[in-house]
């Protein structure tokens, strides 16, 4: 130890003190570690020396090995029994070296029957050299039925060769219903529940969609096999066997033919979500989020490159936009405002409001999408022409509380509880919500904007479709996929789920639906160009165009065209529709991301889908042949230049939030 005061004095003195204390603690720490290491050594000594004999016996007994037999996973079927997920027999050719004798000759014989290139052959020879001679080496996998048959016949002349089969999950429709069906993948640590099945190396469990929601039913129960194995792991003989119990088939209400039709129809735009419901039963007949993804990429373990590509795509192929994408509903929300206003009595069908193109509230000006205004109009025309000022005024008279209460009844603001994971609840703003999230009081201007489905209002396409279903039935319809009744039989389903009545005013409901009829079927309606011309199939609907980003004053002054705006900043196009107007059975909601005007882009999709679904009528009929015409053969949109005023054609530019549609 140094004497006090040498070198830098007190500082050094402190440092010396510090070092001494440090050394003391370090010694304690080292002692602790030595003790723990000693514990390990003594434990190893006990296991490997003292108890070694006992474990050697157990090791031999391990040769009587209990092996699990994985049950085949249940299939997922659509309402007519079309498999959306099943198990594919996977045939592979294996060779056992010790039985083959002359391996080269055997491989030569195989090559005479099926294609076997030089790379395959050298791989087989390499693996045989590396592995125990009784271990089967795969010669070729994914044999076709034909190849399998050819080899099977010749097996007696090919010593050591045999055909083995396994099961892999198969999705016949690939990306067409991937968001609904989901996919299976390797079991991760968080999935383990103690079920030994989950610990089998090749076991797969549902990770998304129906595969996840119905996993326990689909999974089945493990069987067991007691086998005797020798010291090298070769199975000598089977001692006992309890067969596995296969997973149950799960039937969902989807109509795969419609799903295919909708998917093809949606593929005409970059990024679309479309929901088709049976309004009476709440069954989801088609649910498309486009673009989709191939579920098989998850089955064999996701490659980082594929993950990067899927997760980096700005169109979000992995996300199910139909239930998890939340968008301002825009003008598709106006039926909610209308119904709320009629119910509350702040408006009658005869009430007139004058639209001059804008409305003043304090210092703020709220614009209508139509610069010159709509003049003096009543509710029916206001829906038909999607007048914003009319609904600003309506919302102002109504107040946010009554508006939010009606939105809540029609399914906005909270998840509907569809039976696949990942659903979002959207948002219906209220005074309490505003205070809780921002700490500031509700402004009346926000009520106005909420009245046209902009501002903080957010909804999923599923919610918008459900709104329409509730509107046409007057019941608290809940959309769902699982069909407890199983495959639909000819004659159709009679028992519809008994949804509680919403206690809506029937007259008010009829008025709103009549307005939506006018939107599509009367000249001057925003979606007249997208009407269904067959009278028995006629639909009613409401268009919407929701802003992704505020339009700046500069853009307003310069009249920027949509194609001059970056894709991700362009407006979303929405449409919600029901059909047939006489007795509505089907509802459809479509959102085309960043596509511009709802009446131009989204309405034709709803029209084509609703026309096709009415022709097919999957809610009531079992088709003779389970096929529909390809989407391409559907008649093109009736071109009506000049005939019907396509009101959405003129871009409306505004500094304040404006709903157009």
Partner 1 sequence: MTALPPGLGRAPLHLVERILGLRWDLVVLVSVVAGIGIAALYSAADGNMQPWATKQMTRFAIALIPMLGAALLGVRRWFRIAYWTYIVTLLLIVAVDMRGFVGMGAQRWIDLGVIQLQPSELMSLALVLSLGRYFHGLGDDNIAKFRYLVLPGLMILLPTALILKEPDLGTAMVLLMSGLVVMFIARVRLLAFGVGIVALGMSLPMVWKFLRDYQKVRIYTFLDPDSDPLGAGYHILQSKIALGSGGLFGKGFLHGTQSHLSFLPEKQTDFIFTTLAEEFGLVGSLVLLALYSALIAYGFAIALRSRNHFGRLVCLGIVTNFFLYVFINIAMVTGLIPVVGVPLPLISYGGTAMLTVMFGIGLMMSIYLDRDVRLNRAGEAQPD
Would you count residue 9 as binding partner 1 (CB under 8 A)? Answer: yes
Q: Which CB atom, from 24 or from 615, has the smaller least distance to partner 1? A: 24
The DSSP call for residue 72 is: P
CB-CB contact of 542 with 383 (8 Å): yes
CB-CB contact of 147 with 92 (8 Å): no
Q: Which CB atom, from 68 or from 478, has the smaller least distance to partner 1? A: 68
Residues 6+ apart with CB under 8 A from 461: 273, 274, 275, 321, 322, 323, 325, 327, 589, 590, 591
Instruction: Mark the segment that binds partner 1 (CB under 8 A) among 11-19, 77-85, 97-105, 332-340.
Output: 11-19
Nearest distance in Å: CB 418, partner 1? 17
Could you give the maximum distance between any two Cα atoms of the chain, in Å?
108
Nearest distance in Å: CB 163, partner 1? 23
Q: Which CB atom, from 42 or from 553, has the smaller least distance to partner 1? A: 42
From the list 14, 371, 550, 627, which residue makes contact with partner 1 (rule: CB under 8 A)?
14
Would you count residue 216 as binding partner 1 (CB under 8 A)? Answer: no
Nearest distance in Å: CB 275, partner 1? 20
How many CB atoms lie under 10 A from the CB of residue 283? 26
Residue with tokens 């005023």: 645
3-state secondary structure of 281: coil
Q: Which CB atom, from 307 or from 554, has the smaller least distance to partner 1? A: 307
Among residues 244, 271, 289, 331, the one annotated as catalytic is 331
Q: Which CB atom, from 37 or from 364, has the smaller least distance to partner 1? A: 37
Residue with tokens 């407890």: 484
For residues 12, 16, 18, 24, the Cα torsion angle rounded to the nearest 10 degrees is 170
From the list 75, 207, 585, 594, which residue makes contact with partner 1 (rule: CB under 8 A)?
207
- The residues that bridge with 224 in the sheet, in sequence order, are 68, 242
Instruction: Mark the segment that binds partner 1 (CB under 8 A) among 21-29, 390-398, 478-486, 537-545.
Output: 21-29
Q: Which CB atom, from 222 or from 377, has the smaller least distance to partner 1? A: 222
Binding mask 218-237 toward partner 1 (x if CB under 8 A, else -) reads -----------x-xxx----
Would you count residue 306 as binding partner 1 (CB under 8 A)? Answer: no
Take residue 484 and report the two structure tokens written for it: 């407890």
Would you count residue 202 as binding partner 1 (CB under 8 A)? Answer: no
Q: Tell me which residue of 242, 201, 244, 190 sits closest to 219, measured CA to CA.
A: 244
From the list 199, 432, 444, 534, which residue makes contact with partner 1 (rule: CB under 8 A)?
199
Residue with tokens 């939105």: 407
Cα dist from 280 to 330, 418, 619, whole Å: 25, 16, 9
Q: Which CB atom, from 45 or from 554, has the smaller least distance to partner 1? A: 45
Instruction: Mark the segment that binds partner 1 (CB under 8 A) among 79-87, 184-192, 384-392, 547-555.
Output: 184-192
Q: Which CB atom, from 48 or from 553, has the smaller least distance to partner 1? A: 48
Omega before 250 within 30 of 0, i.e. cis: no
Would you count residue 307 as binding partner 1 (CB under 8 A)? Answer: yes
Instruction: Mark the segment that binds partner 1 (CB under 8 A) among 183-191, 255-263, 344-352, 385-393.
Output: 183-191
Q: Which helix (H) or strand (E) holds 587?
A: strand 586-592
CB-CB contact of 489 with 511 (8 Å): no
Backbone angles phi, psi at 225, to 5 degrees: -140, 120
110: phi > 0 → left, psi -120 to 50 → alpha, else beta; which? alpha
Q: What share of the chain is helix, strand, coil (3-state, %, to 5)?
A: 40, 20, 40
Nearest distance in Å: CB 201, partner 1? 7
Q: Which CB atom, from 58 or from 501, has the smaller least distance to partner 1? A: 58
CB-CB contact of 321 with 266 (8 Å): no
Take residue 551 and report the two structure tokens written for it: 């339009």
Q: Which CB atom, from 36 or from 149, has the smaller least distance to partner 1? A: 36
Q: Is 543 a catalytic residue?
A: no
Would you count residue 125 as binding partner 1 (CB under 8 A)? Answer: no
CB-CB contact of 553 with 335 (8 Å): no
From the list 102, 122, 188, 309, which residue makes contact with partner 1 (rule: CB under 8 A)?
188
Q: Residue 201 burial by CB count (10 A; 0-12/13-18/19+): exposed, middle or buried?
A: exposed
CB-CB contact of 451 with 262 (8 Å): no
CB-CB contact of 606 with 531 (8 Å): no
Would you count residue 635 as binding partner 1 (CB under 8 A)? Answer: no
CB-CB contact of 625 with 522 (8 Å): no
**How far is the C-alpha of 72 from the C-alpha of 402, rounded, in Å?**
53
Q: Tell me which residue of 250, 247, 246, 254 sits closest to 173, measured CA to CA.
A: 254
Nearest distance in Å: CB 16, partner 1? 11
Binding mask 317-346 toward partner 1 (x if CB under 8 A, else -) reads -x----------------------------
Contact set for partner 1, span 392-451 (CB under 8 A): none
CB-CB contact of 399 with 384 (8 Å): no
Sheet holding 572-579, edge to edge: 284-290, 272-278, 586-592, 572-579, 540-546
Nearest distance in Å: CB 193, partner 1? 6
From the list 1, 3, 10, 25, which residue makes contact with partner 1 (rule: CB under 8 A)?
25
From the list 4, 174, 241, 308, which residue makes contact with partner 1 (rule: CB under 8 A)?
308
Would you count residue 363 as binding partner 1 (CB under 8 A)? Answer: no
Would you count residue 372 as binding partner 1 (CB under 8 A)? Answer: no
The DSSP call for residue 571 is: P
Would you count residue 309 as binding partner 1 (CB under 8 A)? Answer: no
Nearest distance in Å: CB 233, partner 1? 5
Would you count residue 94 as binding partner 1 (CB under 8 A)? Answer: no
From the list 4, 21, 558, 568, which residue makes contact with partner 1 (rule: CB under 8 A)?
21
Nearest distance in Å: CB 21, partner 1? 5
Contact set for partner 1, span 233-262 (CB under 8 A): 233
What's the alpha-carbon Rg for the chain, to the nearest Å? Answer: 34
Cα dist from 384 to 249, 258, 511, 533, whole Å: 46, 29, 12, 18
Q: Which CB atom, from 62 or from 553, has the smaller least distance to partner 1? A: 62
How many residues of this chain interact with partner 1, rule: CB under 8 A? 64
Omega before 455 within 30 of 0, i.e. cis: no
Contact set for partner 1, span 35-74 (CB under 8 A): 36-37, 39-41, 43-45, 47-49, 51-52, 54-56, 58-59, 62, 65-66
CB-CB contact of 604 with 532 (8 Å): no
Q: Which CB atom, from 7 or from 500, has the smaller least distance to partner 1? A: 7
Would you count residue 189 as binding partner 1 (CB under 8 A)? Answer: yes
Which positions lie near partner 1, rule CB under 8 A?
A: 5, 7-9, 12, 14-15, 17-18, 21-23, 25-26, 28-30, 33, 36-37, 39-41, 43-45, 47-49, 51-52, 54-56, 58-59, 62, 65-66, 130-132, 135, 185, 188-190, 192-194, 196, 199, 201, 207-208, 229, 231-233, 304, 307-308, 311, 318
Please identify every residue annotated as catalytic: 331
């Amino acid at each position: 130890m140094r004497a006090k005061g040498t070198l830098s004095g007190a500082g050094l003195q402190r440092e010396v003190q510090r070092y001494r204390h440090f050394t003391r603690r370090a010694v304690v720490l080292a002692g602790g570690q030595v003790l723990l290491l000693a514990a390990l050594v003594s434990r190893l000594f006990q296991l490997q020396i003292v108890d070694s004999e006992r474990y050697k016996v157990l090791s031999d007994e391990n040769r009587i090995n209990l092996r699990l037999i994985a049950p085949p996973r249940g299939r997922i079927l659509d309402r007519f029994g079309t498999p959306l997920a099943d198990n594919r027999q996977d045939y592979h050719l294996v060779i056992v070296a010790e039985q083959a004798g002359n391996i080269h000759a055997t491989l030569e014989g195989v090559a005479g029957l099926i294609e076997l290139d030089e790379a395959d052959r050298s791989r087989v020879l390499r693996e045989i050299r590396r592995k125990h001679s009784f271990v089967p080496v795969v010669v070729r996998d994914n044999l076709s039925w034909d190849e399998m048959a050819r080899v099977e016949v010749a097996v007696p002349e090919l010593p050591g060769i045999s055909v083995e089969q396994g099961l892999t999950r198969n999705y016949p429709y690939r990306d067409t219903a991937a968001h609904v069906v989901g996919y299976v993948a390797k079991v991760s640590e968080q999935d383990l529940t103690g079920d030994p099945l989950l610990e089998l190396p090749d076991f797969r469990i549902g990770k998304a969609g129906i595969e996840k929601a119905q996993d326990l039913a689909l999974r089945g129960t493990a069987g067991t096999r007691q086998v005797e194995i020798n010291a090298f792991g070769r199975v000598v003989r089977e001692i006992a066997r309890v067969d596995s119990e296969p997973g149950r088939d799960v039937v969902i209400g989807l109509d795969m033919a419609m799903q295919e039709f909708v998917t093809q129809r949606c593929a005409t735009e970059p990024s679309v979500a479309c929901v088709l419901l049976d309004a009476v039963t709440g069954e989801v007949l088609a649910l498309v989020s486009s673009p989709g993804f191939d579920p098989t990429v998850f089955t064999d373990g996701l490659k980082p490159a594929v993950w990067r590509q899927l997760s980096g795509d700005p169109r979000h192929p992995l996300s199910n936009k139909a239930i998890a994408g939340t968008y301002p509903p825009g003008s598709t929300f106006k039926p909610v405002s209308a119904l709320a206003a009629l119910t509350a009595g702040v408006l009658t069908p005869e009430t007139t409001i004058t639209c001059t193109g804008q409305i003043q509230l304090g210092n703020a000006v709220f614009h209508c999408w139509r610069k010159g205004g709509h003049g003096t109009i009543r509710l029916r025309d206001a829906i038909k022409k999607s007048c914003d000022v009319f609904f600003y005024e309506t919302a102002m008279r109504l107040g946010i509380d009554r508006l939010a209460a009606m939105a809540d009844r029609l399914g906005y603001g909270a998840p509907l509880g569809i039976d696949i994971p990942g659903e979002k609840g959207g948002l219906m703003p209220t005074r309490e919500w505003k205070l809780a999230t921002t700490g500031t009081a509700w402004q009346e201007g926000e009520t106005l904007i909420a009245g046209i489905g902009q501002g903080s209002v957010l909804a999923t396409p599923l919610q918008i479709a459900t709104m329409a279903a509730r509107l046409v039935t007057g019941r608290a319809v809940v959309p769902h996929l699982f069909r407890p009744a199983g495959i639909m039989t000819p004659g159709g389903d009679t028992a519809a789920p008994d949804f509680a009545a919403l206690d809506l005013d029937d007259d008010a409901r009829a008025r709103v639906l009549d307005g939506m009829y006018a939107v599509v079927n009367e000249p001057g309606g925003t979606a007249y160009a997208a009407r269904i011309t067959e009278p028995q199939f006629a639909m009613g609907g409401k268009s919407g165009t929701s802003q992704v980003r505020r339009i700046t004053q500069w853009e307003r002054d310069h009249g920027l065209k949509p194609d001059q705006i970056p894709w991700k900043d362009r407006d979303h196009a929405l449409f919600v529709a029901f059909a047939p107007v006489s007795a509505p059975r089907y509802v459809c909601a479509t959102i085309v991301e960043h596509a511009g005007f709802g009446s131009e882009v989204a309405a034709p999709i709803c029209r084509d889908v609703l026309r096709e679904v009415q022709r097919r009528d999957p809610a009531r009929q079992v088709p003779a042949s389970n096929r529909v015409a390809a989407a391409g053969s559907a008649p093109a949109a009736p071109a009506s230049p000049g005939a019907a005023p396509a009101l959405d054609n003129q871009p409306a530019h505004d500094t304040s939030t404006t709903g157009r549609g």
